[in-house]
Amino acid sequence: VFELLNEPKDNLRGALWNDYLKEGIDTIRNNDKRRKIIIGPDSYYSVERLYDLIIPKDRNLILTFHYYEPNKFTFQGDPYHEGYEDFKNIKWTATDEEVEAITHRFDIAKKYSRENNIPVFLGEFGVNKKAKEPYREDWIRSVRSEADDYNFSWGYWEFASNFGIYNLNTGAWDVDLEALIPATVES
Protein backbone atom coordinates (compact mmCIF):
# COMPACT_ATOMS: atom_id res chain seq x y z
CA VAL A 1 0.00 0.00 0.00
CA PHE A 2 1.20 3.50 -0.80
CA GLU A 3 0.22 6.69 1.00
CA LEU A 4 1.28 9.90 -0.71
CA LEU A 5 1.48 12.11 2.37
CA ASN A 6 0.27 11.70 5.92
CA GLU A 7 -1.87 14.53 7.31
CA PRO A 8 -1.48 17.33 4.77
CA LYS A 9 -1.92 20.70 6.45
CA ASP A 10 -1.39 24.44 6.32
CA ASN A 11 -0.93 25.64 2.72
CA LEU A 12 -1.33 22.16 1.24
CA ARG A 13 -5.10 22.21 1.10
CA GLY A 14 -8.06 22.52 -1.23
CA ALA A 15 -7.24 22.61 -4.95
CA LEU A 16 -3.49 22.35 -4.33
CA TRP A 17 -3.94 19.14 -2.30
CA ASN A 18 -6.30 17.69 -4.91
CA ASP A 19 -3.81 18.50 -7.70
CA TYR A 20 -0.99 16.95 -5.66
CA LEU A 21 -3.02 13.76 -5.13
CA LYS A 22 -3.88 13.41 -8.80
CA GLU A 23 -0.28 13.97 -9.90
CA GLY A 24 1.03 11.53 -7.29
CA ILE A 25 -1.48 8.83 -8.22
CA ASP A 26 -0.73 9.32 -11.95
CA THR A 27 2.99 8.97 -11.24
CA ILE A 28 2.48 5.75 -9.29
CA ARG A 29 0.15 4.35 -11.95
CA ASN A 30 2.82 4.84 -14.62
CA ASN A 31 4.72 2.03 -12.88
CA ASP A 32 2.19 0.15 -10.77
CA LYS A 33 -1.42 -0.17 -11.92
CA ARG A 34 -2.79 -2.30 -9.08
CA ARG A 35 -1.22 -1.39 -5.76
CA LYS A 36 -3.62 0.21 -3.28
CA ILE A 37 -3.10 3.89 -2.53
CA ILE A 38 -4.38 5.51 0.65
CA ILE A 39 -5.77 9.03 0.21
CA GLY A 40 -7.49 11.41 2.57
CA PRO A 41 -8.62 15.00 2.97
CA ASP A 42 -6.44 17.93 3.88
CA SER A 43 -6.28 19.51 7.35
CA TYR A 44 -4.68 16.51 9.07
CA TYR A 45 -7.06 14.05 7.33
CA SER A 46 -10.02 15.73 8.99
CA VAL A 47 -13.36 14.04 8.33
CA GLU A 48 -14.89 17.51 8.08
CA ARG A 49 -12.79 18.17 4.96
CA LEU A 50 -13.92 15.06 3.05
CA TYR A 51 -16.29 16.94 0.79
CA ASP A 52 -13.41 19.14 -0.41
CA LEU A 53 -11.48 16.05 -1.50
CA ILE A 54 -11.65 15.23 -5.20
CA ILE A 55 -10.99 11.54 -5.73
CA PRO A 56 -9.26 10.71 -9.01
CA LYS A 57 -10.80 7.87 -11.00
CA ASP A 58 -8.94 4.79 -9.81
CA ARG A 59 -10.24 1.42 -8.64
CA ASN A 60 -7.43 0.83 -6.15
CA LEU A 61 -7.82 3.70 -3.72
CA ILE A 62 -8.60 3.54 -0.01
CA LEU A 63 -10.04 6.55 1.81
CA THR A 64 -8.60 7.46 5.19
CA PHE A 65 -9.39 9.89 7.95
CA HIS A 66 -7.98 10.33 11.46
CA TYR A 67 -9.96 10.58 14.68
CA TYR A 68 -8.77 12.14 17.95
CA GLU A 69 -11.90 13.76 19.35
CA PRO A 70 -12.43 15.32 21.75
CA ASN A 71 -8.94 16.75 21.43
CA LYS A 72 -8.86 18.10 24.99
CA PHE A 73 -9.20 14.52 26.18
CA THR A 74 -6.96 12.68 23.70
CA PHE A 75 -4.14 15.24 23.62
CA GLN A 76 -4.24 16.27 27.29
CA GLY A 77 -0.81 16.95 28.73
CA ASP A 78 0.88 16.29 25.39
CA PRO A 79 3.88 18.60 24.87
CA TYR A 80 3.88 17.79 21.13
CA HIS A 81 0.45 19.34 20.57
CA GLU A 82 0.68 23.04 21.30
CA GLY A 83 -2.11 24.29 23.51
CA TYR A 84 -2.83 20.93 25.16
CA GLU A 85 0.15 20.76 27.54
CA ASP A 86 -1.78 22.10 30.51
CA PHE A 87 -4.94 20.03 30.14
CA LYS A 88 -5.16 17.25 32.70
CA ASN A 89 -7.63 15.01 34.52
CA ILE A 90 -10.14 15.25 31.67
CA LYS A 91 -12.59 12.37 31.74
CA TRP A 92 -14.29 10.43 28.96
CA THR A 93 -16.88 7.95 30.21
CA ALA A 94 -18.63 6.63 27.08
CA THR A 95 -21.87 8.47 27.76
CA ASP A 96 -24.52 8.30 25.04
CA GLU A 97 -23.62 11.86 24.04
CA GLU A 98 -19.88 11.07 23.84
CA VAL A 99 -20.43 7.96 21.72
CA GLU A 100 -22.89 9.86 19.51
CA ALA A 101 -20.09 12.32 18.72
CA ILE A 102 -18.06 9.41 17.33
CA THR A 103 -20.96 8.06 15.27
CA HIS A 104 -21.66 11.52 13.86
CA ARG A 105 -18.11 11.77 12.49
CA PHE A 106 -18.13 8.18 11.27
CA ASP A 107 -21.47 8.80 9.52
CA ILE A 108 -19.78 11.52 7.46
CA ALA A 109 -17.03 9.13 6.36
CA LYS A 110 -19.49 6.31 5.62
CA LYS A 111 -21.72 8.57 3.54
CA TYR A 112 -18.74 9.85 1.55
CA SER A 113 -17.51 6.28 1.10
CA ARG A 114 -20.85 5.14 -0.32
CA GLU A 115 -21.19 8.15 -2.61
CA ASN A 116 -17.69 7.59 -4.00
CA ASN A 117 -17.59 3.78 -3.87
CA ILE A 118 -14.36 3.70 -1.87
CA PRO A 119 -13.46 1.64 1.22
CA VAL A 120 -12.52 3.41 4.46
CA PHE A 121 -9.43 2.99 6.63
CA LEU A 122 -9.51 4.82 9.97
CA GLY A 123 -5.80 5.50 9.60
CA GLU A 124 -5.16 6.86 13.08
CA PHE A 125 -6.94 7.08 16.37
CA GLY A 126 -5.42 7.19 19.80
CA VAL A 127 -5.31 8.79 23.20
CA ASN A 128 -2.34 10.06 25.15
CA LYS A 129 -1.24 7.95 28.11
CA LYS A 130 -1.68 11.02 30.31
CA ALA A 131 -5.42 10.39 30.12
CA LYS A 132 -6.27 8.27 33.14
CA GLU A 133 -7.52 4.72 33.05
CA PRO A 134 -10.31 3.64 32.76
CA TYR A 135 -11.22 6.70 30.63
CA ARG A 136 -8.50 5.95 28.11
CA GLU A 137 -9.62 2.35 27.80
CA ASP A 138 -13.29 3.38 27.38
CA TRP A 139 -12.39 5.80 24.59
CA ILE A 140 -10.19 3.28 22.76
CA ARG A 141 -12.83 0.56 23.04
CA SER A 142 -15.60 2.89 21.88
CA VAL A 143 -13.75 4.18 18.82
CA ARG A 144 -12.55 0.70 17.81
CA SER A 145 -16.02 -0.75 18.32
CA GLU A 146 -17.64 1.97 16.20
CA ALA A 147 -15.02 1.48 13.48
CA ASP A 148 -15.80 -2.25 13.48
CA ASP A 149 -19.55 -1.55 13.34
CA TYR A 150 -19.00 0.72 10.33
CA ASN A 151 -16.76 -1.89 8.64
CA PHE A 152 -13.82 0.51 8.64
CA SER A 153 -10.41 -1.09 8.79
CA TRP A 154 -8.33 0.76 11.36
CA GLY A 155 -4.86 1.46 12.74
CA TYR A 156 -4.20 2.60 16.29
CA TRP A 157 -1.70 5.42 16.88
CA GLU A 158 0.80 4.19 18.10
CA PHE A 159 2.72 1.22 19.50
CA ALA A 160 4.98 2.14 22.42
CA SER A 161 5.32 5.87 23.00
CA ASN A 162 3.04 8.63 24.33
CA PHE A 163 -0.14 7.09 22.88
CA GLY A 164 1.08 3.50 22.86
CA ILE A 165 -0.41 0.21 23.96
CA TYR A 166 2.88 -1.52 24.85
CA ASN A 167 5.40 -0.67 27.57
CA LEU A 168 8.97 -1.06 26.29
CA ASN A 169 10.41 -0.79 29.81
CA THR A 170 8.40 -3.66 31.27
CA GLY A 171 7.87 -5.66 28.09
CA ALA A 172 4.16 -5.86 28.86
CA TRP A 173 0.98 -4.87 27.09
CA ASP A 174 -1.01 -2.09 28.66
CA VAL A 175 -4.32 -3.12 30.18
CA ASP A 176 -6.13 -1.45 27.30
CA LEU A 177 -4.93 -3.97 24.68
CA GLU A 178 -8.23 -5.82 25.05
CA ALA A 179 -9.99 -2.58 24.18
CA LEU A 180 -8.39 -2.91 20.75
CA ILE A 181 -8.38 -6.68 20.39
CA PRO A 182 -11.28 -8.13 22.35
CA ALA A 183 -10.88 -11.60 23.77
CA THR A 184 -12.95 -14.18 21.95
CA VAL A 185 -15.12 -16.64 23.75
CA GLU A 186 -14.81 -20.26 22.67
CA SER A 187 -18.10 -21.99 22.06
Residues annotated as catalytic (active site), given as ranges: 7, 124
Distance between first and last Cα of the chain:
36
Task: Tell me the backbone φ, ψ of residue 109, rounded to 5 degrees.
Answer: -65, -40
User: How far is Cα 170 from Cα 181, in angstroms, rounded to an integer?
Assistant: 20
User: How far is Cα 34 from Cα 176, in angstroms, rounded to an integer?
Assistant: 37
Is 58 in contact with 27 (CB distance < 8 Å)? no
Closest CA to 8 of 86, 67, 65: 65
* Alpha helix ranges (H) inside the chain: 14-29, 42-45, 71-74, 96-116, 135-149, 177-180
Q: What's the Rg (C-alpha) of the chain?
A: 18
34 Cβ neighbours under 8 A, 6+ residues apart: 60
